[in-house]
Structure 1
């Protein structure tokens, strides 16, 4: 009657053997294909190194001017532009400029990777209900899996460094990009699609000229969420060698440096708010433009 009060489990020897088998097989796979997988991701490493080098070598005032210009183009709001400039100036004054540029380069690379991978998958999902049913559980696992767990297989395959960190961040941040691309295309008005078909549009023309432009505000919301989730992984990714604002925070936790942790944490918050306001404002502009064109 012990099973009524205590949940029955597999025998310890069976569990140990199962875990040992899985671990040994993964290690064997890592030894056999680790070098090939590392070579496959070499272009990604070059992209990350070049983007980081560009931001670090560009004068600070040029970086601020470019971000201010992007903020103005996206929002047409002086408040957002001034807020972005003040945030970056304060980061520089408190001696966190270099770490911030490294973090921004990583976020840029992760966002580009998420867009390049996420939009085609989202488009494929929007065209097939069966594929959507297959991919949605995978996305559920990716979004609910503790972020630390992503680091284990990536580090075992690629070791410590920037590329494993980027891969872990992309895996964590890409689900909103895929989901909202799928949702945006599915929400396109059926009457508009019928009109496109009536004019003899091919499947590619309908996607390029009708579905993607109308789904763009929703896709922008996906990009916004991807950026926010990538920033949330900054500190965790620093555990496997990703440089930037996360490493001082990690060092502050280890050595109980209160001000170091707070300042760098506030810098991450400042960047997150800046990117959030700019991307949200651009999404709202796209939405208003769509409503004006089809209103």
Structure 2
């Protein structure tokens, strides 16, 4: 089947990048692969008991006793099924993809919130990124970076980044105008308005974007396993290939339990920030007067 002019354009663009910038892609792949390996080795070096206690303590602090018990039970089930190593590998991929999604997405969201034309361009691009089937991202990723974890992380970044961009823009746009006017009246610069007023007040929306980015990254686990991502997705894929219900169910259960833990923990940070925002009214700091007031 011959592709149309649109498919031909996409193919030519990828081939052009591969032919002219292959060295750059290889260097980037090596650097990103090293980061992923360090992250995976670091998480893998933590004993299961230590990780269990750490996550239960975090769950107790953020959500309470009931959720802490659930986290302990969920991690015990994962370890009992013999999927702890795969879970750590999946967690490393999700953390890496989420980190780079935030590094790229939050600044883009800020830029879009402060520039209408940029927002229009970003909105169209994000619509394209969110509606394009996830499998399509794997093709250019494999061509440019080969098989393995690196193309899986890159495809996951492209798929999972839109929520944090959108919700960062939305959060900054929803900051009350009177807060900005008060900041300007006290002589705050644009940078001060951003860091001291807009971002703190937009934090609940940004954290919601982080939460959605993590969930979308996890949803790419099985898809990315087709190009060598490993982890729980590979276990699920093995069940599909063998038509083994037991293996598929265990791998899927591991993904679900990990998703619930990460979802509730990241969600709690957004909820706490929202509660704090209601209690504290952000007021700009008035600069000191150049001289002392006259005493009577």
TM-score clears 0.5: yes
Stretch deviating more after TM superposition (75-84 or 271-280) = 75-84
Quickly say closer, same or farther: Cα 1:24–1:208, change in 2 above 3 A.
closer
Stretch deviating more after TM superposition (197-206 or 171-180) = 197-206
| Residue 272 (structure 1) aligned to one of 250, 256, 259 | 259
| Residue 114 (structure 1) aligned to one of 101, 109, 112 | 101
| Residue 46 (structure 2) aligned to one of 37, 58, 66 | 58
Q: Secondary structure at the match of 2:39?
A: helix
Measure, in 1, the Cα distance between the counterparts of 2:104 and 2:262: 21
Match of 1:127 in 2: 114
Q: Deviations over 1:33-71 (max 9, x none)?
A: 223212024322111100100111111111112222332
Number of residue pairs the alignment of both structures matches:
282
Alignment partner of 1:72 is 2:72 = no
Quickly say closer, same or farther: Cα 1:23–1:194, change in 2 above 3 A.
closer
Quickly say closer, same or farther: Cα 1:21–1:140, change in 2 above 3 A.
closer
Give the superposed CA RMSD. 1.9
Measure, in 2, the Cα distance between the counterparts of 1:90 and 1:59: 16
Measure, in 1, the Cα distance between the counterparts of 2:113 and 2:256: 34
Name whichever structure is richer in helix by fraction.
1
Match of 2:28 in 1: 40
Q: Secondary structure at the match of 2:280?
A: helix
| Residue 27 (structure 1) aligned to one of 6, 10, 15 | 15
Match of 2:276 in 1: 289
Match of 1:103 in 2: 90
Question: Is the contact made by 1:80 and 1:278 (CA closer than 8 Å) also made in structure 2?
Answer: no
**1:17 CA displacement:** 8.2
Stretch deviating more after TM superposition (278-287 or 130-139) = 278-287
Which runs of no fewer than 5 residues in structure 2 stay unpaired?
283-296
Stretch deviating more after TM superposition (201-210 or 39-48) = 39-48
**1:22 CA displacement:** 5.8
Measure, in 1, the Cα distance between the counterparts of 2:121 and 2:79: 46
Match of 1:9 in 2: none
**1:25 CA displacement:** 5.9
Alignment partner of 1:94 is 2:91 = no
Measure, in 2, the Cα distance between the counterparts of 1:273 and 1:188: 30
Match of 1:197 in 2: 184
Which runs of no fewer than 5 residues in structure 1 stay unpaired?
1-11
Q: Calculate the TM-score normalised by the size of structure 2.
A: 0.90
Question: Is the contact made by 1:231 and 1:272 (CA closer than 8 Å) also made in structure 2?
Answer: yes
Quickly say closer, same or farther: Cα 1:230–1:25, change in 2 above 3 A.
closer
